[in-house]
Structure 1
Amino acid sequence: MTIGSEDELEKLKAAGRLVARTLKAMGAALEPGMTTRELDDLGRRMLEDAGARSAPELTYGFPGATCISIGPDVAHGIPGDRKVEAGDLINIDVSAELDGFFADTGASFAVPPTAPRVEKLCRDGRRALWSGIRTVRPGAPLNAIGKSIEAFARKNGYSLVRNLASHGVGASLHEAPTEIATWWEPSDRRTMTEGLVFTIEPFLSLGADWVEEADDGWTLFPPGGQPTVQYEHTLVVTPRGPVVLTLAD
């Protein structure tokens, strides 16, 4: 969506803070022995206590309030009876509707003890996200985001999953602009306009450039099982640059 008023911006900020705080709490609660359903229940309570609704559940009938994926799965994992184990790499994606507006965020968490290369992958996943965020300004090409992220990935020896992309958000969970690549896509001639709301969510990997869908119809995983992380923010384009809506504080 494109924000048309200060009231819309404030409502989007409220939705963004809520999903960010929910994600932060879920990440802090992670510990070996808990099930992903227990973790999802925590997320659901936080959203519902604030008067919000799970966006994937509302929009797509997803079987959970949040998406929780234990590696090698990277996205859209269904909460269930699987238990968290030490050494797991877990992605949590939280999106919700609050007062008619949607926000979307996600992060990957490594459950100690963690291999040094996975710890570095997590740190660099966050750095890749912010390298894309720093390109955001009115009039800039939309593909500047992917150009910056791909340059970071190549410089640091990573691959990017290329069949998962960022997207517009705000009035609904997924809307125009669709398919915002987090890699260099020279054919994309679109530009960022003031007030535009969208996500940036690179999937940085130790070798994977593609994911496939599991038999459950939801879960996505790299065929080679390579460790992969995703970090995601919702932001709005302003004359002063990007305003990140999904910060917990």
Structure 2
Amino acid sequence: MTITNDDELAGMQAIGRIVANTMHGMARAMEPGMTTRELDSIGRAMLEAAGARSAPEVTYGFPGATCISVNEEIAHGIPGARVLAAGDLVNIDVSAEKDGYFADTGATFRLGAVRPALERLCRDGERAMAAGIAEVGHGKPLAGIGNAVGRFAKKRGYTLIRNLASHGVGRALHEEPGEVPTWPNRDRRTVHRGLVLTVEPFLSLGGQMARQGRDGWTLFSAPVAPVVQYEHTVVATDRAAIVVTLPD
């Protein structure tokens, strides 16, 4: 989507707040002993109360309102009977639609204390996302996003999952400019004013690719390694990008 007026920006900011509030509300509610299905039901109730619909559910028939991925699961985890435990890394990915506008956000949360290497990975995952967002601006190369994330990852000793990319969003969950790499690349496309896209690097302690599990949805790291993901939906301007997925 390319935003051309204030009404469109307001629509994106409205759905952005909804998905952000839902994700953070779920994170506050999660506790050891809760199943991922129970956590998803909290997210569903929050989306419905805000008048929004789960984007993966209505777009792809995903079996849940939100994606919840725990520890070895790195993305697209199906809510179910899995029980959360202290020390888990829990990725909550919320995307939704309201009034014809779609927004997408995600983050990896620590359920209680985790070992220092994972604590550092989480902090640096947010920093890697910020490095990518800083490269979103009118006239800048799309490759700048992945190249900035790549420089950060290399400097800090991390790897990046190289087949899970950022994407256009706005009037659909996934739209042009299609896949936007969040790893070093030579993409020749450029960012233009008003472009709406996600920035969502997957930072890892050794993972290189995502492989699909037997359920046809859940993704795992190959080789096996801890992975975190942080994601915002942003709008390109002549200056700094506007982040629309911010909570109240």
Under a length normalisation based on structure 2, what TM-score does the superposition of the two structures give? 0.99
User: Letter of the aligned partner of 1:52 in structure 2?
Assistant: A
Counterpart for residue 220 of structure 1: 219
Cα distance in 1 between the residues matched to 2:135 and 2:59: 30
User: Letter of the aligned partner of 2:80 in structure 1?
Assistant: G
Q: Do the aligned residues in 2 keep the contact of 1:31 with 1:85 (CA within 8 Å)?
A: yes
1:118, CA displacement in angstroms?
0.4
Counterpart for residue 112 of structure 1: 112
Please show how residues 78-117 of structure 1 align to structure 2 within 5 Å. 78-117=78-117
User: Letter of the aligned partner of 1:131 in structure 2?
Assistant: A
Larger deviation: 100-109 or 221-230?
Answer: 221-230
Counterpart for residue 127 of structure 1: 127
User: Letter of the aligned partner of 1:108 in structure 2?
Assistant: T
Q: Do the aligned residues in 1 keep the contact of 2:209 with 2:223 (CA within 8 Å)?
A: no
Counterpart for residue 74 of structure 2: 74
Counterpart for residue 12 of structure 1: 12
Q: Do the aligned residues in 2 keep the contact of 1:162 with 1:210 (CA within 8 Å)?
A: yes
Cα distance in 1 between the residues matched to 2:109 and 2:48: 24
Q: Do the aligned residues in 1 keep the contact of 2:72 with 2:226 (CA within 8 Å)?
A: yes
Q: Do the aligned residues in 1 keep the contact of 2:208 with 2:223 (CA within 8 Å)?
A: no
Considering only aligned residues, what root-mean-square deviation do their CA atoms show, in Å? 0.7
Counterpart for residue 196 of structure 2: 197
Please show how residues 1-249 of structure 1 align to structure 2 within 5 Å. 1-186=1-186, 188-249=187-248
1:66, CA displacement in angstroms?
0.1
List gaps (5 residues or longer) in structure 2.
none
Q: Do the aligned residues in 2 keep the contact of 1:129 with 1:231 (CA within 8 Å)?
A: yes
1:147, CA displacement in angstroms?
0.5
Q: Do the aligned residues in 1 keep the contact of 2:87 with 2:113 (CA within 8 Å)?
A: yes
Q: Do the aligned residues in 2 keep the contact of 1:138 with 1:241 (CA within 8 Å)?
A: no
Larger deviation: 218-227 or 160-169?
Answer: 218-227
User: Letter of the aligned partner of 2:122 in structure 1?
Assistant: C
Give the fraction of aligned pairs with identical amino acids, expressed as a percent.
60
Q: Do the aligned residues in 1 keep the contact of 2:168 with 2:175 (CA within 8 Å)?
A: yes
Cα distance in 2 between the residues matched to 1:139 and 1:223: 35
User: Letter of the aligned partner of 1:242 in structure 2?
Assistant: A
| Alpha-carbon displacement from aligned partner over 1:50-106 (angstroms, at most 9, x marks no partner) | 110000000000000000001111000000011001111111100000111000000
1:225, CA displacement in angstroms?
2.5
User: Letter of the aligned partner of 2:191 in structure 1?
Assistant: M
1:240, CA displacement in angstroms?
2.6
| Alpha-carbon displacement from aligned partner over 1:119-168 (angstroms, at most 9, x marks no partner) | 00000000000011111110000100001000000000000000100000
Cα distance in 2 between the residues matched to 1:40 and 1:241: 33
- SS for the counterpart of 1:211 is strand
User: Letter of the aligned partner of 2:244 in structure 1?
Assistant: L
1:223, CA displacement in angstroms?
3.3
Show structure 1 runs of 4+ deviating over 4 A: none
Under a length normalisation based on structure 1, what TM-score does the superposition of the two structures give? 0.98
- SS for the counterpart of 1:37 is helix
Q: How many residues align?
A: 248
